[in-house]
């Protein structure tokens, strides 16, 4: 082969290298739809909006994402979000482990009653081998997970009286999410759980159709639930609700490796912002949100370790049954990670 021929071949290779990714990027959708349940100023929406902003900024607008809150892309059916993403009907999501648990049973880990005592325990799972294993499972199901965010620990509220013992839940109609584990937990505590979406929950609380509910206090605060009779709160940290930034395999395959890395790092950065928002005012160092809620005349009960243990014992059979369903190896890995945090 002559020098001229080699030079021409090299030039063609360079041209392909330079134009290939650009041509690929030109095939991107005009808009990638991002599914969430809650918009800003909820921490969930803050995390999603930050992801969209960072990706747009770091790709100079080449990747255009838009948040659709209220799980409107699946007509408000929160538990159908993962299946829709797996099929490619939804491009991306900042989704809840609770809402994805009907399709991936291992996602129920974070809803095991009283598994997680504090934020350090939650971080030990999401940032350790448990989080890595869960991401592997999500990939095996046709979705690319990118990063963690947080909706927060779920606390219990009601309109009737303080909840300090399991007996205080006896007979209360409690709104819970559409997960069998939540139904089993509240049944074990003597309550009457009623499964409904968040869109239906607030009207039901307003009319008194249900007595109470369980949600992070950021949701309570932003939704001004003190105005609809939820005058009693117990901070019991009984389950947590981590969020996951993810992309359907169908959409993920659209992107160049460089843009995939931009999407992933933007999700990691947005996840940090979402976690910070989810914990603001709710820590031992800063309890300003708790104080603000109390300022509305709300009774906030913080369980002692002895009181919390009574709830642990009341739900032990549920814990053991779901440990078998989720997978003893994964649960034991989580227990070990928490013990060593």
- Using alpha carbons only, what angle is made at residue 240 by residues 237 and 241, rounded to the nearest 5 degrees? 150
**CB-based contacts of 105: which residues, under 8 Å, 6+ apart?**
325, 326, 327
The answer on pLDDT for 251 being more than 60 is: yes
CA 23 → CA 9, 18, 27, 169, 253, distances in Å?
A: 20, 9, 7, 61, 14
Radius of gyration of the chain (CA): 23
Question: 76: which 2 tokens?
Answer: 């408000």
Distance of alpha carbon 53 from alpha carbon 270, whole angstroms = 9
Per-residue pLDDT of 81-103, as tens digits, reads: 999 999 999 999 999 999 999 99
Distance of alpha carbon 151 from alpha carbon 47, whole angstroms = 10
Domain locations along the chain: 27-279+287-339
- Using alpha carbons only, what angle is made at residue 137 by residues 107 and 177, rounded to the nearest 5 degrees? 20
The answer on pLDDT for 14 being more than 50 is: no
Distance of alpha carbon 30 from alpha carbon 8, whole angstroms = 36
Q: Which pLDDT does position 7 carry in this prediction?
A: 35
Per-residue pLDDT of 268-282, as tens digits, reads: 999 999 999 999 999
Domain made up of 27-279+287-339: CATH architecture? 3-Layer(aba) Sandwich (3.40)
The answer on pLDDT for 167 being more than 50 is: yes
If phi > 0 it is left, if psi is from -120 to 50 it is alpha, else beta; for residue 229 that is: left
Determine the average pLDDT of the residues in 217-231.
96
Among the listed residues 48, 181, 35, 176, the one whose alpha carbon sits nearest the alpha carbon of residue 106: 181
Q: Which pLDDT does position 26 carry in this prediction?
A: 62
Average pLDDT, the chain: 93
Distance of alpha carbon 2 from alpha carbon 156, whole angstroms = 79
Q: Which residue has the tokens 């927060």?
A: 152
Question: 92: which 2 tokens?
Answer: 């991306």
Per-residue pLDDT of 252-268, as tens digits, reads: 999 999 999 999 999 99
Query: Can you say how many angstroms the Cα of residue 58 is from the centroid of all Cα atoms in its chain?
Result: 25
Determine the average pLDDT of the residues in 307-331.
98
Distance of alpha carbon 45 from alpha carbon 111, whole angstroms = 21
Q: Which pLDDT does position 197 carry in this prediction?
A: 85
Instruction: Spell 240-276 as b/e; 16+ CB within 10 A means b.
Output: bbbbbbbbbebbbebbeeebbebbbebbbebbbbbbe
């Amino acid at each position: 082969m002559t020098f001229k021929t080699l030079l021409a071949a090299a030039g063609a290779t360079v041209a392909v290298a330079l134009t290939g990714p650009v041509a690929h990027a030109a095939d991107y959708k005009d808009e990638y739809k991002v599914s969430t349940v809650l918009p800003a100023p909820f921490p969930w929406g803050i995390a999603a909006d930050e992801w969209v902003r960072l990706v747009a900024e770091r790709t100079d607008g080449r990747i255009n994402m838009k948040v659709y809150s209220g799980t409107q892309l699946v007509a408000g059916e929160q538990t159908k979000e993962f299946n829709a993403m797996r099929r490619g009907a939804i491009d991306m999501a900042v989704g809840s482990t609770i809402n994805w648990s009907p399709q991936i049973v291992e996602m129920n880990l974070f809803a095991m009653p009283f598994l997680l005592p504090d934020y350090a325990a939650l971080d030990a799972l999401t940032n350790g081998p448990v989080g890595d294993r869960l991401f592997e499972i999500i990939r095996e199901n046709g979705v690319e997970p990118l990063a963690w965010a947080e909706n927060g620990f779920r606390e219990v509220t009601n309109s009737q009286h303080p909840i300090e013992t399991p007996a205080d839940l006896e007979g209360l109609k409690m709104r819970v999410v559409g997960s069998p584990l939540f139904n089993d937990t509240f049944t074990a505590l003597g309550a009457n759980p009623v499964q409904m979406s968040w869109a239906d929950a607030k009207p039901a609380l307003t009319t008194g159709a249900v007595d109470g509910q369980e949600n992070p206090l950021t949701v309570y605060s932003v939704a001004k639930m003190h105005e609809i009779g939820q005058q009693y709160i117990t901070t019991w940290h009984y389950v947590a609700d981590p969020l996951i930034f993810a992309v359907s395999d169908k959409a993920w395959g659209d992107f160049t490796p460089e843009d995939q890395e931009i999407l992933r790092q933007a999700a990691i950065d947005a996840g940090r912002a979402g976690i910070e928002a989810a914990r603001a005012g709710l820590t031992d160092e800063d309890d300003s949100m708790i104080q603000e809620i109390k300022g509305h005349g709300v009774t906030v009960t913080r369980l002692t370790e002895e009181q919390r243990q009574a709830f642990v014992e009341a739900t032990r059979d549920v814990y053991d049954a779901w440990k078998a369903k989720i997978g003893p190896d994964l649960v034991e890995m989580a227990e070990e990670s928490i013990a060593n945090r």
